[in-house]
A and B are shown apart, each in its own frame.
Chain A
Amino acid sequence: MTQAALPRQNATDNARPSDSLFMPALYTGLGVALLATLLWSIASGRFAVPFAKVIAILAAHVVERAPSWTPTEAIVVNVVRLPRVLTAAIAGASLSLCGAVLQGLFRNPLVGPQTIGISSGAALGGVTVILLAGFGTLVPIGAFAGAAAALLAVLALQRSDSVSPVLTLVLAGVVVSAFCGALVGVVTYIADPESKLPDIVYWLLGSFASATWPKLLLIAGWTVFASAVMLGMRWRINVLSLGDEDAKTLGVNPSRDRLLLLTAACVAISAQVAVSGTISWVGLVVPNLARLLVGADHRRLLPVSALIGAIFLVVADTLARNLTAAEIPVGIVTAVVGTPIFAVLLRQATRSSAA
């Protein structure tokens, strides 16, 4: 092959002129928006702390200075709100990242962390622990065990068929989700309505109200670990999204890669469920919004989904605790916001597949 035969010799001639500016601008914009959302969320609430004071209190962690704020304000910012908004941000980023990864793996924009059974497995594990031992430190372990068991069950069901592994995996997820949902129903039915049931119901609806520094560290540790794996494989997911047969002819063995990614998603989601209960729709809707912005390439889609997911869930949580006098579980807010968006996406998806 000779260079002279090429219509154009320089790849940069044709490689999207706007790209060099668009992506850095988008990352900067989303970063600034996330920071602003976090500060706004910390400042707002029934006990409002002025914006300037929030910044001063946070800055005091880095720079020594004379306090211009009351001790109560410092406690509200440092102990009550800061761990809560950071937990919400990490949970939102984690759910959206997992959603984007799962949608890529299953080549289906309507897939979310719930679809392959991980969320419901984690919920069942958590609920079982609350029933047996009460709400405590064992909940994360139960959630992880449930998520892992659900994932293993899904993979075992999928192995029985080899014609269309991708489709059977999704169907297996539906089966396992339904089974876990039924068992969660059993647990809530037999739970003591005086002591256990309120805990279980509130936890199942999803909330960041009980966020503390130890819980934040728990979710942060696992999420950083799992996200590093998923973000590291951001281009590999492009290859896997072609389907098994195609990936194999390109020299990639999809089975191990997929197992690694599913395990990472399982770890991230169970950490999130353990800390804040099941929060639906975020992992399904946010990657679709991100795809509208940056297209299907997972090299961009994964980080942009994570950033948008963090902003989305912090806003949802702030609304959850400020809209009414009594706090609404954030899972209800995400469902109310998420379902109409999903309905629009569903219409578009069915329309484009019909065309």
Chain B
Amino acid sequence: MITVDKAGHWFRPEHWLFRDLSFALAPGKITAVLGPNGTGKTTLLRALCGTLALREGSVSADAAIGYVPQALNAGHAYSALDMVLLGRARYLGRFGVPRQADAERAFECLSEVGLAHIATQRYDRLSGGQRQLVLLARALATDCRVLVLDEPASALDLANQGVVLRLVRQLADRRELAVLFTTHHPDHALGVADEALLMLRDARHIHGPIENALTEANLSELYGVPVRRVDAIATDEVATAFVPLYGLRRAASRAEAS
């Protein structure tokens, strides 16, 4: 659906953010992109969406891409439904006005993210989690086959992180969407993604199946801090956390025992 071939980019000449980056997005598969700040995650997303021209390599897409930005600022006083309706823009010309069918499509998408009940509420008065879901619904309203999300869960509380991640997984499965999202949470990546792309400093990267890529060694190298993997096993679920060892608290009890 989307093929990235030997992509490379810099903002300061010859200071490559990434280089020789090749991967593909397939229907129903989720790819998580991880990396420290400033390694070019957002730049890569912009290149995928066609709003940035790469210095090197190419992105070829044979399907419409829906982009979900971070719901950072409150912004617009449009209703949630009107906000989702904006996703229909590419099907309406310069002088076009959405019709009933567009409104129904938008409402379907809003329902699909579970927010039908807030359709008439103002977008700028919604909670951060709801705004993120409205933007997700807006991307769905573009009838995209590929979904690209910029840190979809980073500004949300723990429960809402789960809501968004579960929804992303469901959409990939149910609609056969190819999904790519950036995150600073390796556990989010492991929870929902099939593949991981680790963008290291010095323009290097690691790409592979999620379990192979998200090792303690790789993550420790990626973030420059020792990372330990911890599995929590509940009755019907295994949840994994990746814990950075910052050296903030001394292991007091062990020290006393010795």
Contacts and interface: CB of A to CB of B under 8 A. Distances in A.
Which bracket fits the contact residues of A?
20 to 34
Contact of A251 (B81, B89, B104): B89
B201 to A, nearest CB: 25
Contact of B116 (A8, A234, A257, A291): A8
Contacts of B138: 250
Interface string B82-115: 1000110110101111100001100110011010
Nearest to A355: B74
A260 B82 CA distance: 24
A252 B90 contact: yes
A263 interface: no
Given A8-B116, A242-B86, A234 B107 contact: no
Contacts of B86: 238-239, 242, 250
A15 B110 CA distance: 12
B90 A250 contact: yes
Nearest to B66: A249
B117 interface: yes
Nearest to B115: A7
Given A1-B174, A16-B120, A251 B108 contact: no
A192 interface: no
A296 B77 contact: yes
B114 A252 contact: no
Interface string A1-28: 1000111110100111000000000000
B132 interface: no
B49 interface: yes
A295 interface: yes
A252 B76 CA distance: 18
A11 B104 CA distance: 6
A246 B90 CA distance: 12
Nearest to B97: A235
Nearest to A299: B97
Given A14-B116, A236-B95, A257-B94, A249 B69 contact: yes
Contacts of A246: 69
Which bracket fits the contact residues of B?
35 or more
Nearest to A8: B116
Contact of B51 (A232, A241, A245): A245
Nearest to B86: A239
B139 to A, nearest CB: 9
Interface in B21-79: 49-51, 65, 67, 69, 76-79
B228 interface: no
B51 A5 contact: no
B229 interface: no
Contacts of B94: 232-233, 236, 257, 260
A60 B122 CA distance: 50
Given A6-B111, A249-B49, A250-B89, A235 B104 contact: no
B103 A15 contact: yes
A1 B112 contact: yes
A7 B114 contact: yes
Nearest to A14: B119
Given A238-B78, A238-B86, A296-B77, A15 B142 contact: no
Given A9-B111, A250-B89, 10 more contacts: A1-B112, A5-B112, A7-B111, A241-B76, A247-B89, A249-B49, A249-B67, A250-B138, A291-B77, A297-B82
28 contacts: A1-B175, A6-B108, A6-B111, A7-B116, A8-B107, A8-B111, A11-B108, A14-B107, A14-B117, A15-B107, A16-B120, A235-B96, A238-B82, A238-B86, A241-B76, A248-B50, A249-B67, A249-B69, A250-B87, A250-B89, A250-B90, A250-B142, A257-B94, A260-B94, A295-B78, A295-B79, A295-B122, A297-B79
